[in-house]
Amino acid sequence: MRDVPHQRPAQLDAILEDAAHAGFTMSCEDRTGSLLATLAASKPDGRFLELGTGVGAGAAWLVSGMTADARLVTVEANAAVQGIARRHLAGDPRIEFVHADADDWLTSEAGLFDFAYVDCRPGKYLRLSDLLALLKPGALYVVDDMLPQDTWPDDHQPRVDGFLERLPDVPNWRATPMNWASGLVVAVRT
């Protein structure tokens, strides 16, 4: 079986080209993106959250699977990096771009979400309980980059190991770690 996506978002190649010119190397890979789109399609009219917009590759995949009435809030601390995402995706009225530190944003947000894709430290290694409090029962939670990455700082592996070790003890959720793509965790809020 070839586990490569059959459908890619129309904007993705241009986003990745701009990312390469900017030296940004942390976009989600195509297999992860395809899974995001597939899972997004399971939440019609859902409210989606992405922590860590980056250049918008993940957001492009998410909106490619979302229905017309669904909404995505995507949060990024780096305005220049998020600017690439805005340039390619701002025409989609389903997306709300938030320029903020995800740690600070988690403190101020009060809405509930049907789906969270977390691609930064807050909501994954930090403040996981605060993020889970924003998820409705049945909401999906997806994180990637659980397998070693070239972009990791030297002190990052213990964070990943700690997160994976804590998974079985997190209340009110069921999680499946996956040794696939960049290393994923797919969980559901119970």
DSSP states of 125-142 as a string?
A: TB-HHHHHTTEEEEEEEE
Report the pLDDT value the prediction gives residue 141, as an integer from 0 to 100: 98
Residue 109: phi and psi, rounded to 5, are: -80, 140
Report the pLDDT value the prediction gives residue 5, as an integer from 0 to 100: 81
23-81 per-position pLDDT tens digit: 998 899 999 999 999 999 999 999 999 999 999 999 999 999 999 999 999 999 999 99
166-175 per-position pLDDT tens digit: 999 999 999 9
Nearest to 9 by CA among 49, 42, 36: 36
Mean pLDDT, rounded, for 116-132: 94
Dihedral angle, C-alpha 136, 139, 143, 146, nearest 10 °: 110
Nearest to 59 by CA among 96, 114, 108: 96
Cα(96)–Cα(52) distance, rounded to whole angstroms? 13
Is residue 143 within 8 Å of 173, Cβ to Cβ?
A: no
Is the pLDDT score of 181 beyond 90?
Answer: yes
Mean pLDDT, rounded, for 117-140: 94
> What domains, with CATH codes, occur in the chain?
12-189 (3.40.50.150)
The confidence band for 111, taking pLDDT boundaries of 50, 70 and 90, is confident
Is residue 77 within 8 Å of 144, Cβ to Cβ?
A: no
Nearest to 76 by CA among 51, 59, 56: 51
Mean pLDDT of the chain: 94
Report the pLDDT value the prediction gives residue 152, as an integer from 0 to 100: 86
Report the pLDDT value the prediction gives residue 6, as an integer from 0 to 100: 80
How is residue 122 annotated by DSSP? B
